[in-house]
Structure 1
Amino acid sequence: MVDEGALLWEPSEAVVRGAKVTRFAEWLGRSGERYDELWGWSVERPEEFWGAVWDYFQVVGTRGEGPVLRGDMPGAEWFAGSTVNYAANALRGDPDRVAVVGRAEDGGRRVYTYGELAGEVGRVRAGLVRLGVRRGDRVAAYLPNAPEALIAFLAAASLGAVWSSCSPDFGASSVADRFAQITPKVLIAVDGYTYNGRWFDRSDVVADIARRLPGLTATVVVGESGTVATGGRVLGWEELRAEAAEPEFEQVPFGHPLWIVYSSGTTGLPKAIVHGHGGIVLEHLKALSFHQDLGEGDVFLWYTTTGWMMWNYLAGGLLVGATVVLYDGSATHPGTDVLWRLAAEEGVTYFGTGAPYIVASMRAGLRPEGLAKVRGVGSTGSPLPPEGFAWLYDVLPDVQLGSFSGGTDVCTGFVGAVPLLPVRAGVIPCRCLGAKVEAFDAEGNPVVGEVGELVVTRPMPSMPVMFWNDPGGERYRESYFADYPGVWRHGDWIKIMDDGSCVIYGRSDSTLNRGGVRMGTSEFYRVVERFPEIADSLVIDTGQLGREGRLLLYVTPAEGESLTDDLAARVKAALRAELSPRHVPDEIHEVPGIPRTLSGKKLEVPVRKILLGTPPEKAANTGAMANPEVLRHFTP
């Protein structure tokens, strides 16, 4: 066992002196300040801080005459009157320096310099224009983490069009639930992908998705066949990029939609979360440079898919002039060490992954080699246990481990690491610059040294500019501000220490988290409860404190039915096909009823508490339940 809080790493004087956040402090005239002092200024004077970030990085755009910040949450307005374009900032690197390395599971490797990447973006931008894509139109992608996805995203952004992507391991229903909400004009998709050494043909799935998207004018197919029978216009990737063209950049207002990412869909359809050009540019410049110490000369790898916000974050490496490594494939095929070997081969300097991969590497007894260039390791997706911290420092004693926690909602971390502070087992060193994170008790009072709700009490520029199809902002306000008016409630348990460090204890709501990917319970129910043999269902993730638990599905059979092996197999197959492999439960159990409130809401959080050891009478208010007698069937 490793004690939480055990000291594992301290920055040397040379590390502190050379850190990019130190140079920023010197530029500000705040040299010599402790990190907590710099953080305090950044959250108490957000107008000064974020204005300084724009000026320090010489953001490509036009600063308007309006204030940096107008109003408060929800509805805060940033940089009124300013214009910017994400792609213009991402492609301003030295044209001869390597921008992107694309690696495939089968060993394939493609390299693009910043100049070559800009040329590809210009080609695809011109192709999108020929398809009628204009500013504000949506471009949807069903693509793996490959160069085509990054190129198409930058091309869409350069036009002022709005990007949205899903990974090709998602089934048609899951994708349609997302993309149909935003009515894309163009869909860019692969006809298949390789994972774990197997080829998965997605031609029929792409055709099904396309047929479910009203207003779709064309489907672009990336793949050898280049054809999919969608019933509409279909062209291949090579046709889209056929004509050479210099990239152009539409200057858009600071809050103009850049991309749409999705919540997990815990209640109803996944929320379509819209982030703006300017907020993402500033946030990712800050996070990648000051907290992960990335810049020109760095090689940045984060294992992700296009369906996780870490893909969007990885693309941000271009904003600071780094080389980004895109890996398309399994993290454990042909062995658990595949990502470490990839990092060694590409000379990665910052290696990012989900906490479960670090734990899997520890359990496999790995001792990665050839990683002399790695100076930072990032971990996110779920809390990393102290043992994971300790293993990493046993095999890579000189790196800085950055355990970060944030979310799709802001496309960044609220809390994380910084080169100025030590690393302790199981502890996140700091709250990030510009993020006024606090822990609230049940009465909404800030607490220190005890577990509370993670809240943000000052606005951040990468908070959503809106939800799609939520013109009055009601769903947006209900999602974050219903519990504490004017205060963002994120849905995580956090304990903040006296020194500003913190520990994340997982979700405080019913959202599931598998392999770093947040998933919603309603997605399960839409598939499971379509079976005529099943009357009702409940899905629970027992993971806690950084340990991935079991994904348990409880079903109440319809009248005269029972849970047979055949039914369980068909349910698992449907979840895998229609949603993704991550949605397949570890166990399925039959219960006589699903606990519900008097208003009919399923009691997911109380059942999870019961499964983790809380007595039923303490886990739920039985007086507010329609069927309290069924709780006993969930006692472990």
Structure 2
Amino acid sequence: MKTVTKGTLLWEPSEEKIKTAGVTKFMNWLKENEEIELTNQQEVWKWSVEQLENFWSCIWEYCEIDSKTPYKQVLDSRKMPGAKWFEGATLNYAEHVFKNYKKNKCALIFQSEILPRTEISWDELQEKTGSVAQYLREIGVKPGDRVVGYMPNIPETIVAFLACASLGAIWSSCSPDFGTGSVIERFQQIEPTVLFAVDGYSYNGKLHSRLSSVEKLQSELPTLKQTILLPYIHANDEKLSKDTVLWDDVTKNKHELLYEALPFDHPLWILFSSGTTGLPKPIVQSQGGILLEHLKTLIVEQGVNDEDVFFWFTTTGWMMWNLLVGGLLAGGTIVLYDGSPSYPNMDVLWNLAEETEVTFFGTSAAFISTNLKFGVNPNERYSFKKLKAICSTGSPLSINGFNWVYENVKKDVWLVSVSGGTDVCTAFVGGSPILPVYSGEIQTRALGANVQAFNEVGQPLINEVGELVIVDPMPSMPIYFWKDKNNERYHDSYFDIYPGVWRHGDWIQIDEKGSSVIYGRSDSTINRQGVRIGTSEIYRAAEGLEEIIESMVIDLELLGRESFMPIFVVLKPGIALSDELKAKIKAEIKQKVSPRFVPDEVFEVPEIPKTLTGKKLEVPVRRILLGQPLEKIVNRGSMANPDTLQYYIDLAKKLDKKK
């Protein structure tokens, strides 16, 4: 693979792609209907944040929002928290999904490790959703009641969610690979009345029963009135408790799908933060806010339409599942996959994309990095004729990751690197199909998102690294945290540093053309000799070496000694951590980053500790290495690989003896 550096031009859109892009169509509409003339991405973004209220009213009209009652005003004020959007409007998220109903057209394509590929038509999706919604009404579910899913990324989960949305119940979900304790501490907070659950799931070719977990949930959630169980890995022969019914019994009776007209700010769902360092935050987002934001993201920014096949590899415990469902809002066919992205081999998702003619392929930066490290070359087997865009999120995509996509997947493809958060269920910064793609850079700030980089005193920076902040409200920001008295936890999560300004907790650098680079979490910053740096800069250098799969760097300020900064590396199979390799790693960081940030020691580890959504646990590991007790640091149930922590506990004891 050829060597590229930050800022290397990798792709430019053709005139035809620019002409047919969603944002171009929106600009044309603005000119024709509003007499607003904008000619490029930066102009559209600038107008969208300066004329915030006008922008969102135009999105409302452009995306043809169907409100049963007119709104009084777009926004009451730009205060945060507490901004009120589109007061007076009444609408329904699910109704906007089924506005795209086309008889006999495919709505969902589904594949898993244990079930063959199937297609679900709009007819079947609407019919099943109507059946489930009616059943929920019959057992007494009302608008505002919480309904939860302990379900994988399968069609039945989509049906359950849309049924809830149609009648105004509030949805929340956890993937069945979550530990039972983690699910309980999430669901207990919101007191659900109904649980949708599966009997198990398959991952990496192994079946995992979850019947005992379902029983535990039933006993620990006293507000539950009903459990709806889907036999996913077993036959319909489970012994059911008196408050449990089978999925097929719920969907056997057909019923017209009805829609409750709901206030714009009526809760749609509750998403949870990772909960790695405390009780997960129950983040409540509104029907109208998510509807508008996802229509803007998918139709205007990404250009998804009814001819597209939209895929994102995700579980129901990650916000990308919620965005994936949004593909239906744009009229597209969405692709669901349940299982490991590397079983039976690394081709499984690429093969799925080829055979289902995916046009938008969404994944994580970690997945791209793994493909790169193991020398996967999808373009040697697949043509990807229909593929228009590859989307990456979850963590910063390395420069080599950018290059790998263009050399090994497709040369003429729009690579969309995005960064946002569960907190808003969207991106703050992302892509534009009318702009070039440069290695290591995120193309633009999201429309309607007044993203800035702030210094310590709240001044905006250009071409310097600062705190990622949002200066003005967005419709999909939380309406509140569940049971958060006086919005205290909400305020402390985002507004405790810059009053009235959302501080997201990432380092960002924005240049004069509006593109950006994310440098990781600001709470895991390394500060050496007064100079601060985001850990991702070190990862870019270290993980650029062919021997290294992944790395994690921790800066320790131990009492009685100078700062000690080790780097932990996962090596490719067959590679040993020799003195020569240690020297090579240090030399690479010295050259690519700075002599100041050369690690003091290099340790080989089999795995990097991560959350269930794949984020490195830098801050908890730092606290472990500083000798703090594990039970006060991290919730093991929120981790993908909690057993990895023992290595760092043992290392902390060794370091303590050296003090």
Greater displacement, 219-228 / 396-405: 219-228
Distance of 1:374 and 1:34 partners within structure 2: 25
CA contact (8 A) 1:86 1:281 kept: yes
CA contact (8 A) 1:552 1:585 kept: no
Matched with 2:388 is 375
Matched with 1:87 is 94
Distance of 1:632 and 1:449 partners within structure 2: 40
Deviation string 1:249-269 (CA, Å, 9 cap, x unpaired) is 001000100000001224431
Matched with 2:326 is 316
Q: Following superposition of structure 1 onto structure 2, how do residues 415-494 of structure 1 map, counting pairs within 5 Å?
A: 415-494=429-508
1:109 deviates by 1.9
Deviation string 1:252-309 (CA, Å, 9 cap, x unpaired) is 0001000000012244310100000000011001111122221111000000000000
**Distance verdict in 2 for CA 1:231–1:318, change over 3 Å:** same
CA contact (8 A) 2:608 2:644 kept: no
Deviation string 1:153-203 (CA, Å, 9 cap, x unpaired) is 000000100000000001111000100000000000001101100100010
1:74 deviates by 1.0
Q: Secondary structure at the match of 2:328?
A: helix
Distance of 2:518 and 2:405 partners within structure 1: 19
Q: Secondary structure at the match of 1:475?
A: helix
Equivalent of residue 48 in structure 1, options 51, 54, 62: 54
Q: AA paired with 1:581?
A: A
Is 1:410 matched up with 2:424? Answer: yes
1:540 deviates by 9.1
Deviation string 1:116-168 (CA, Å, 9 cap, x unpaired) is 21111001111111222111111000000000000000000001000000000
Greater displacement, 205-214 / 55-64: 55-64
CA contact (8 A) 1:218 1:233 kept: yes
Equivalent of residue 150 in structure 1, options 146, 158, 165: 158
Matched with 1:103 is 111
Matched with 2:545 is none
Equivalent residue pairs, number? 563
Q: Secondary structure at the match of 2:143?
A: coil
1:242 deviates by 2.0
Distance of 2:289 and 2:643 partners within structure 1: 36
Is 1:393 matched up with 2:406? Answer: yes
Matched with 2:569 is none
1:95 deviates by 3.0
**Distance verdict in 2 for CA 1:496–1:149, change over 3 Å:** same
Greater displacement, 110-119 / 200-209: 110-119
CA contact (8 A) 2:275 2:638 kept: no
Matched with 1:325 is 335
Equivalent of residue 83 in structure 2, options 56, 76, 83: 76
Is 1:236 matched up with 2:246? Answer: yes
Q: AA paired with 1:444?
A: G
CA contact (8 A) 2:608 2:616 kept: no
Deviation string 1:220-269 (CA, Å, 9 cap, x unpaired) is 11114557678650111011112100100001000100000001224431
Distance of 1:318 and 1:99 partners within structure 2: 7
Matched with 2:25 is 23
TM-score, L = length of structure 2: 0.80
Distance of 1:177 and 1:411 partners within structure 2: 21
**Distance verdict in 2 for CA 1:58–1:7, change over 3 Å:** same
Distance of 2:639 and 2:508 partners within structure 1: 30
Q: AA paired with 2:86?
A: F
Greater displacement, 261-270 / 583-592: 583-592
Q: AA paired with 1:340?
A: W
Equivalent of residue 112 in structure 1, options 120, 135, 146: 120
Distance of 1:230 and 1:506 partners within structure 2: 47
Deviation string 1:92-124 (CA, Å, 9 cap, x unpaired) is 112332111111123512211222211110011
Equivalent of residue 588 in structure 1, options 647, 654, 659: 647
Is 1:140 matched up with 2:184? Answer: no
Distance of 1:246 and 1:634 partners within structure 2: 71
CA contact (8 A) 1:228 1:234 kept: no
Matched with 1:9 is 11
Matched with 1:126 is 134
**Distance verdict in 2 for CA 1:254–1:32, change over 3 Å:** closer
1:542 deviates by 9.6
Q: AA paired with 1:8?
A: L
How large is the Cα RMSD of the aligned pairs? 3.0
1:583 deviates by 3.8
TM-score, L = length of structure 1: 0.83
Greater displacement, 333-342 / 151-160: 333-342
Equivalent of residue 64 in structure 1, options 53, 66, 70: 70
What residue ranges of structure 2 are gaps of 5+ in the alignment? 526-534, 537-548, 551-606
Q: Secondary structure at the match of 1:443?
A: coil
Deviation string 1:569-592 (CA, Å, 9 cap, x unpaired) is xx9xx988x555344426523469
Distance of 1:179 and 1:222 partners within structure 2: 19
Q: Secondary structure at the match of 1:269?
A: coil
Q: Secondary structure at the match of 1:472?
A: helix
Matched with 1:384 is 397
**Distance verdict in 2 for CA 1:11–1:63, change over 3 Å:** farther
CA contact (8 A) 2:609 2:645 kept: no
Distance of 1:580 and 1:233 partners within structure 2: 31
Matched with 1:38 is 44
**Distance verdict in 2 for CA 1:209–1:338, change over 3 Å:** same
Distance of 1:181 and 1:542 partners within structure 2: 24
1:427 deviates by 0.2
Distance of 2:457 and 2:407 partners within structure 1: 42
Distance of 2:235 and 2:420 partners within structure 1: 39
